[in-house]
Structure 1
Amino acid sequence: MTNVEVGLAPAMAVEQLAAGYKGRNVFEGLSLKLYTNEVLCLIGHNGAGKSTLLKVLFGLLPHNAGVIRFHGREIKPTPSEMAGHGVSYVPEGRGVFPGLTVKENFALALWSAKIQGQDAERRIGEVLEVLPRIKEFWQRRAGQLSGGQQQMVSIGRAMLAEPSILLLDEPSIGLAPKLFQDLLVPIREYQQKRAMSVLLVEQQVGEAFSVSDRVVVMKSGELIFEGVPGDLADEGKLMGMF
């Protein structure tokens, strides 16, 4: 048991979960816990089932067997329900509307969440405080931004909901390690300030481990390792799992 688990109930948990596509399971018998106020890093080779799991947790893909619990209560997720529970999801590939300005992307996210007036202004201010570089391209169309800038906007939009749980699917795609680290550090600070839970699916393990409390390795639909980042400091041990 790691320190983050002591005395804490899971924010989300899956038990004997099975899911996949076109009648074929990507994983089955999967059990995993995401605790309150932790960053859990999920790593594994391409096709291991990591992104599929996030889609199931957010309700974008139904599960075929098993149980999903939210703070101990069994649920069958849908995107609207999970958003209502305070769960935000940032998909792989940057979920922005390219024809809209960054300001308009934020406004659309707030409108869809029925957040208005002073509350909306407050939330925008808090996000811009965490990710201040967004101010530099606030009036530019999202499609004209660099990959790193689009990723900031995508994550910023998710943070507008003040989530208790944030599901991040490979935010490093297209980013240099330094840019990725610059993005992760303020998110880690925000997570700790708000006692938020983060499930981070990532390939750039060095940068991801530096902001993670626990790490889980998935291989071919199975969880083959669970521990803390320091357990995988030996690169040879880590590479042997892929």
Structure 2
Amino acid sequence: MTATPVLAGRALVAGYGGRPVLDGIDIELRPGEVLCLIGHNGAGKTTLVKALFGLVPLGAGEVQLDGRPLARPTPAALAAAGVAYVPEGRGIFPGLTVDETLRMAAWAACVPAAERGARLDWVLGILPRLREFGGRRAGTLSGGEQQMVSIGRALLGRPRCLLMDEPSIGLAPKLFQDLLRPIRALQQATGMSVLLVEQNVHEALKISDRVLAMKSGAIIREAAPAELADNARLMELY
């Protein structure tokens, strides 16, 4: 029997200014998997993730958690249900220090005050380099360091489902893998589900369990990572 998806979109239609970007998409994020969503710029990947997290209003369709439709999919409702989001472009506050950013994220995630210290230590154990620049303002960090802060912020809620939108932007392949390695280890240890939106297909396939390819607002292919990795022509298409 197929397990009930942790997070799903059914017949999703969404867009901007009355112009749809998503064309009736169905997507499922299964328990304990890393699902990679690939496609060229303009394919609709970011819009799909934002629709799943309640950041883009739906014109039609529904978002489901554990097989149950959400009456009003909002970021607050999804976060409360254990879904975390790492946005494209990192979305950090440049004037705050890393420590301030993480403490604010723990508060926003409704971590009880008595547990925040332990929760911060847990995240710093996953991403130990955050300890090195805790007192620095986030705006002074490198792109890779900022991405680490963004991921750490998302993990403070101990999510069971992590949505990551283009985390490799501006990063060298090795640094991208250095960021993904602890996420993969955490996912394997806890059973967390991960939806990874990526243009860096070669690197993303290394940690993925399943791949969906998008084009023009539709999902056009589902494949195993090895199927794409072993086929140069398919890699060029996506």
Give the structure-2-normalised TM-score: 0.96
Q: Residue in 2 aligned with 1:181?
A: 177
Q: Could you list the runs of 5+ residues in structure 2 that have no partner in the other structure?
A: none
From 26, 49, 56, the counterpart of 1:54: 49
- Is residue 218 of structure 2 the alignment partner of residue 222 of structure 1? yes
- Aligned counterpart, 2:35: 40
For the residues of structure 1 that align with 2:218 and 2:235, how far apart are their CA atoms?
16
* Worse overlay, 114-123 or 32-41: 114-123
Give the Å deviation of 1:88.
0.6
Please report how far the alpha carbon of residue 7 of structure 1 lies from its aligned counterpart in structure 2 after TM superposition.
3.9
CA shift, 1:189, in A, is 0.3
C-alpha contact 2:201 2:235 (8 A) present in aligned 1: no
Counterpart residue type for residue 51 of structure 1: T
Give the drift of 1:110: 1.3
Q: Distance in 2 between matches of 1:41 and 1:208?
A: 7
Aligned equivalents of 1:161, 1:147: Cα separation in 2: 23
Shift of 1:28: 1.4
Aligned to 2:145: 149
Distance 1:11 1:117 in 2: 28
Measured on the aligned residues, the alpha-carbon RMSD in Å equals 1.1
Note if 1:12 corresponds to 2:7: yes
Q: In 1, Cα distance between the equivalents of 2:2 and 2:22?
A: 30
1:149: how far off?
0.2
Hey, what does 2:87 align to over in structure 1? 91
Give matches, 1:199-238, under 5 Å. Answer: 199-233=195-229, 234-238=231-235
**3-state SS of paired residue (1:64):** strand
Shift of 1:67: 2.0
Q: State the Cα deviation string for residues 144-164 of structure 1 (Å, max 9, x = none).
A: 100000000000000000001
Q: Which residue of 1 aligns with 2:126?
A: 130
> Which amino acid letter does the alignment assign opposite residue 43 of structure 1?
I
Distance 2:90 2:8 in 1: 26
**Aligned partners of 1:171 and 1:17: how far apart in 2?**
24
Deviations 1:2-21 (A, max 9, x none): xxxx6421111112111001
Q: Does residue 69 of structure 2 align to residue 74 of structure 1?
A: yes
Indicate the SS of the match to 2:194.
Answer: strand
Corresponding residue for residue 154 of structure 2 = 158
Report the Cα offset of residue 118 of structure 1.
3.6
Q: d(CA) in 1 for partners of 2:234 and 2:197?
A: 19
- Rounded Cα–Cα distance in structure 1 between residues aligned with 2:86 and 2:43: 19
Deviant stretches of 4+, over 2 Å? none
Letter in 1 for 2:182: P
Tell me the alpha carbon deviations over residues 151-182 of structure 1, each in whole angstroms, 9 at most, x when there is no partner. 00000000000001111000001100000000
Over the matched positions of the two proteins, sequence identity in percent amounts to 56
Range with bigger deviation, 8-17 or 116-125: 116-125
Q: Match for residue 102 of structure 2?
A: 106
For structure 1, which runs of at least 5 residues remain unmatched after alignment? 1-5
Aligned to 1:3: none
One-letter amino acid matched to 2:143: G
Q: What is the alpha-carbon distance in structure 2 between the residues aligned to residue 100 and residue 26 of structure 1?
A: 34
Paired residues of 2:187 and 2:193 also in contact (CA < 8 A): yes
